[in-house]
Amino acid sequence: MKWILTENNKKINSLEIPTISIEDLKHDLKNMNLRVVGFFGKQEFENIRLYVTLADDKNGIFYISSVLFNPNEKSYESLTQDFPAFHIFEREFYEEFGIKPLNHPWLKPIRHNQDKYPFFSMRGEDVHEVAVGPIHAGVIEPGHFRFMCQGEKVYDLEIMLGYQHRGIEELILNSSNFNNRLAESICGDTVIGHNMAYSMVMESLSDTKISEKSKIIRRIALELERMAVHIGDMGAISGDMAYLPGASIFGTTRTLVINTMLEICGSRFGRGLINVGGINFDIDHSMEQKIIAMLDEVLHITQKTVKVMLKKSSCISRMEKTGFVSTENARLLGAVGMAARSSGVNIDSRFDFKDEFYQLIGKKLNFKATGDVYSRFRLRYEEVLQSANFIKNLLEILRQYNKQNLKSEIGFVSPNSFVISSVEGWRGEIVHIAITGANSELLRYKIKDSSFNNWYMLAMAVRNNGISDFPLCNKSFNLSYCGNDL
Amino acid sequence: MLDIFINIFILLTVPFLMIGVIKKTKAFWSGRKGINIFQPFWDFLRLLNKETVYSSTTSWIFKITPIINFSVIFFASLFVPMANGLAIINIPFAFIIFSYVLALGKFFTLISALDTGSSFEGMGASREACFSTLVEPAFFIAIGSITALTQNYTFQSLKLILENAGIYGYLVITLAIITLFIMLLIECSRVPVDDPATHLELTMIHEVMILDNSGIDLALILWTSAIKMFLFASLISALIIPTGLPQIISILLFLSIIFIISIIIGTIESSTARYRMTHVFEFVFIMSITALLILTLVTYKLYGN
C-alpha cells in the first residue's frame, strides 16, 4: 500500500501514512493524474518527512503518502519538470528545509531572502523593465512586480512576495489553546473561509461533533463572504477600467452585504463568528427576515447594473481577450478556485468533496468559461446569484434546527493524527492540514490559501497584454498577499 | 479694453470651475453628493501653501517645467477668442503660434518626466508624445481649413464660417466641434482616452508624468491643465456663438457653452469605460477623419466651381 486514502475532515492515524521513495512518487503521479493540495515537510528527529497529499476531485478523496529524507540526502530530482503544478510547493519545501529539487526551472525564494532574489531579465533593443511596488499607490498589500516589456507589451511579469510573512503556522503551533482569532488573521478578506477550515481541522482532531445549526450558519457566513467580496471586486474591476457607475454601485451594494454580517456577529468581515466547537452568534427569525430582504435588494441592484454593463461596448471591449489563461495552462499550473473555473477547470471543494448541506441545496455552477477578464467578471456575477440562492435555501433548512445549541462540548485532541480540511472560500480552495504527536501536541500545521497556487496564473495572464491592462488583470484575480506569505 | 479685462477675469476663474462642474457631474451620476464646485480652487490654494519636494535625481529641468508650462499656456490663451468672441491678441496665423507654443510646454513636460528617472514617467511620456503627434496634424488641418475659408487666417474668424460658407457652414461647424471635442478629450487626458481619477500608475498617460511634482509646482500644473481644457472649450464656443449679439448676451452664452461642455465631459466619464490603450488610436483617427472632411468641404467650397 503506497497511499492512504481519506476524506475531507476525517481523522487518520499519522503513523499509518506510508513511506515511499521519490521514484515511486513520480511513477504514481504519472499514473494517478491527481491534483496536488499538500506538499510540505516535517522534522522527524534528524530526518525530514515530506508529506504529499493529492486530491481526487472526481471521487472526493485525498491520497496521502510521505517521502523520508535522511540527513545525508540534500537533494532530489525535481517533480516540477514533469508536473508544473508542483513548482511553488517545491520552492516552499526547499525554502523551509533546504532540500534542493534538482533541475527545478524556477527555484526562487517565495517568502524569505527578497534582497537576494534572482530576477529574470531580458536584454535587447526596446526592452525595458518596469518595477512596481512593494508599496503601491492604492490600498493594497505590499508585493513587488517586475515587468519585462517591449514598448507597451508585457513579455514577462515576475512577482516577488513575502513582505507579509508573519509565521502564522508557527504561531498556531505555539498557541496553547484553540486560537480562532489567529486563524481569522491568515488572510483578512477570507476570515470565514480560513476560520472554518481551522475549526473543522480542530474539531476533527478532537472528535467534536458540532450541531447542524452551527454548521448551517457557518455555511451561510461563507456564502455571505463570497457575495460581498465578489460584488466588491466587480466594483473594483469597473473602477480599473474607469467605468464609474459600476464602481460606485457595486461599492455600495457590497456594503449592504457586509453590514448584514455586522448585524449578525458585530464585525463586517465576520470576525468572532466561528469558534472551535460551534459558533458564537445565532441567526433568529428577525435576522432571517433581514438577510432575505438584503439579498433581494442586492440581487435586484446587481442584476440591473450587470445588465447595463454587459451591454456597454466600451466595458466589454476592455474585458474581452484581456488576461487570457487557457484551460490547459490553468490545469498545468494547478490553479484552483474561481480563477481556475474562469479558465474552464471546473473544481469546487464545496461539491467535489461531499458536503452534507451543499449536496442538498444545489450543484456546481455550469459556467461557460472563456479564460479572460470578462470570464472572471461574469463568473463572479453568477457566483453572487448562486450564493444568494444558497443562502435562502440554507435559511430554510436552518428553521428545522431552531432548538439546537450553538456550541458543543469540545473533546480531547487525539494523539498521532492527521487531518486535512478543504473549504471553498470565495477565492478558492483553502486547505488546512494538522499533524499531532504522541502527546496530542500539534507537530505541524500547514495552511494553503488558494492564492499560493494562483499567483503564477496572474503572471501567465499578463503575458502579451498591454502593460496598462495589468491592473485590470490583477483585480480580476484579486489574489491575497498575506494568504501566500503566511 | 473692457473685453481684455473680462477675458483675463474669465481666464483666471472659469477653468477651475470647469473642473468642479465635471467632478460634480460625475458625483451626480454615481449617486454621491460630490464636492463643492469651488473645491478645485481651494485645492489650488492649499497646494500653494505646501512645501515643494524635489527628488535628488531631478535637475533644473524638473524645477523650471511647471513655470514654463504655465507661462506658455498663459501666452497661448492670449490668442484664443473668449468672451464676446474676441481674442486679446488677434493676428493672422495665431493658430500656428498657439499650437507650437503648447508644443513647447509639452516638450518640457516630457523631458521633465524623463528627468525623474522613473520607469512609470518614461512610459507616460512616450504615450503622451505618441498621442500628441496624432493630434497636431488634425489641429492644423481643421483650423487651417476653416481660417482659409474665411480668408482671414485669425482665430476670431472661427465665428465667420456661416457668413462665408453658407449652407456648408453648418456641416463644417459640426465637424469642427467633433474634432475639437475629441482633441480636448485627448489633450486634457479625459475618459475614454485617459482616466484622471485613477491611482494606477501603469494605466495613466498624463497624470503619471506629474507624479513627482508637489507643492507650488503641482498647483501650477493643475492650473495649467485646467486652462488648457478651458482653451479648447473656448475654441468650440467660438464656433457656436453667432456674431452680432449684444455683448452681455454673448458673454452669458459663452459661459453657458463652457458649462454645458463640462457637463458633457462629466457625463461621458460617468457612462463610458476607458478604452484599451491600443483602441485609443481608433478613437484618435475619428478626429483625423473629421479634420480631413473639413478640408474636403472647404476645398470644394473654395475651388469646387
In a domain, A209, yes or no: yes
Using 50, 70 and 90 to split pLDDT, how confident is the model at A296?
very high
Tens digit of each residue's pLDDT (9 = 90 or more) over B284-296: 899 999 999 999 9
Does A179 lie in the same domain as A76? no
Residues A232-236, mean pLDDT to the nearest whole number: 92
pLDDT band at B109 (very low <50, low <70, confident <90, very high): very high
Domains contained in chain A, number: 2
Mean pLDDT (whole number) for B148-163: 83
3-state secondary structure chain A: CCCEEECCCCEEEHHHCCECCHHHHHHHHHHHCCEEEEEEEEEECCEEEEEEEEEECCCCEEEEEEEEECCCCCEEECCCCCCHHHHHHHHHHHHHHCCEEECCCCCCCCCCCHHHCCCCCCCCCCEEEEEECCCCCCCCCCCEEEEEEECCEEEEEEEECCCCCCCHHHHHHHCCCCCHHHHHCCCCCCHHHHHHHHHHHHHHHCCCCCCHHHHHHHHHHHHHHHHHHHHHHHHHHHHHCCCHHHHHHHHHHHHHHHHHHHHHHCCCCCCCCEECCEECCCCCHHHHHHHHHHHHHHHHHHHHHHHHHCCCHHHHHHHCCCCCCCHHHHHHHCCCHHHHHHCCCCCCHHHHCCCCCHHHHCCCCCCCCCCCHHHHHHHHHHHHHHHHHHHHHHHHHHHHCCCCCCECCCCCCCCCEEEEEEEECCCCEEEEEEEECCCCCEEEEEEECHHHHHHHHHHHHHCCCEHHHHHHHHHHHCCCHHHHHC
In a domain, A131, yes or no: no
Q: Which residue has better confidence, A116 or A422? A: A422
- Whether A149 maps to a domain, the answer reads no
Asked whether residue A252 falls in the same domain as residue A395, the answer is yes
- A278 band by pLDDT with thresholds 50, 70 and 90: confident
Confidence of residue B181 (pLDDT cuts 50, 70, 90): very high
In this predicted structure, what is the pLDDT of residue B305? Answer: 66
Chain A, residues 43-102, CB within 8 A of chain B, namely: none
Is A129 part of the contact surface with chain B (CB cutoff 8 Å)? yes
| Same-domain pairing of A289 and A428 | yes
How many whole angstroms separate alpha carbon B220 and alpha carbon A225? 46
Within a domain: residue A436? yes
Same-domain check for residues A227 and A362:
yes
Looking at the fold, whether A333 and A211 belong to one and the same domain comes out as yes
Do A80 and A188 sit in the same domain of this protein? Answer: no
Which grid cell is A134?
512593494
The per-residue pLDDT for B224 is 92
Q: Do A240 and B272 touch (CB under 8 A)?
A: no
Mean predicted lDDT score pLDDT of chain A: 89
Q: What pLDDT score does B86 carry? A: 82
Residue A312's pLDDT is 87
**Contact criterion met (CB < 8 Å) for A318 and B276:** yes
Chain segment A75-88, per-residue pLDDT in tens: 888 888 889 999 99
Percent of chain B with pLDDT strictly greater than 90: 45
pLDDT (0 to 100) of residue A31:
87
Indicate the pLDDT class of residue B233, thresholds 50, 70 and 90.
Answer: very high
Q: What is the CATH number of the domain that holds A48?
A: 3.30.460.80
pLDDT, position B230? 93
Q: Search chain A and give the residue with CA nearest B127.
A: A152
Lowest pLDDT segment from A247-251, A388-392, B117-121: B117-121
Cβ-based contacts of A137 with chain B (< 8 Å): 199-201
Residues of B with CB under 8 A from a CB of A: 26, 29-32, 119-120, 122-123, 126-127, 191-192, 195, 197-203, 269-279
Answer whether residue A432 is part of any domain: yes
Size of interface A-B (CB pairs under 8 A): 89
Residues A441-468: what's their mean pLDDT? 90
A432 within 8 A of A257, measured Cβ to Cβ: no
pLDDT tens-digit map of A182-222? 989 898 889 999 999 999 999 998 888 888 889 999 999 99
Is the predicted pLDDT of residue B42 greater than 90, yes or no?
Answer: yes
- Tell me, what's the pLDDT at A293? 92
Q: What is the reported pTM?
A: 0.90
Over the stretch A312-354, which tens digit does the pLDDT of each residue have? Answer: 888 898 888 898 999 999 988 889 989 999 998 988 888 888 8
Q: State the pLDDT confidence band at B205, using cuts at 50, 70 and 90.
A: confident
Please indicate, yes or no, whether residues A224 and A338 belong to a single structural domain of this protein: yes
Residue A195, pLDDT score:
92
pLDDT beyond 80 at A139: no
Within 8 A by CB and 6+ apart from B210, the residues are B109, B113, B218, B221
pLDDT tens-digit series, residues B122-135: 888 988 898 888 89
Domain range holding A213? 168-485
- Give the percent of chain B with pLDDT over 70: 100
A69 and A193 inside one domain: no
Residue B41 CB coordination number (10 Å)? 18
pLDDT at B151 over 90: no
- Mean pLDDT, range A422-433, rounded to an integer: 91
Q: Where are the domains of chain B?
A: 2-303
Domain boundary among A102, A129, A160: A102
Residue A425 lies in a domain: yes
The residue among A121, A157, A241 with the most chain B CBs within 10 A of its CB, best to mutate, is: A241
Average pLDDT over every residue of A253-274: 91
| CA-based nearest distance A291→chain B, Å | 24
- Helices within B209-246 (DSSP H only): 215-240
In B, minimum Cα distance to A467 occurs at: B202
Q: What pLDDT score does B1 carry?
A: 75
Neighbouring C-beta atoms of residue A1, cutoff 10 Å: 8
Cβ contact B270–A470 (<8 Å): no
Average pLDDT, chain B: 89
HSE of A269 in the Cβ direction (CA atoms, 13 Å)? 15
Predicted pLDDT at A413 = 86
Shared domain for A184 and A262, answered yes or no, is: yes
CATH number at residue A351: 1.10.645.10
Do residues A277 and A397 both lie within one domain? yes
The distance of B186 to chain A (nearest Cα, Å) reads 15
- pLDDT for residue A44: 86
With an 8 Å Cβ cutoff, is A135 touching chain B? no
The answer to whether A318 faces chain B, any CB pair under 8 Å, is yes
Contact A137 B272 (CB under 8 A): no
The residue-averaged pLDDT of A108-136 equals 84
Enumerate the residues of chain A whose CB falls inside 8 A of the CB of residue B277. 152, 466, 468-469
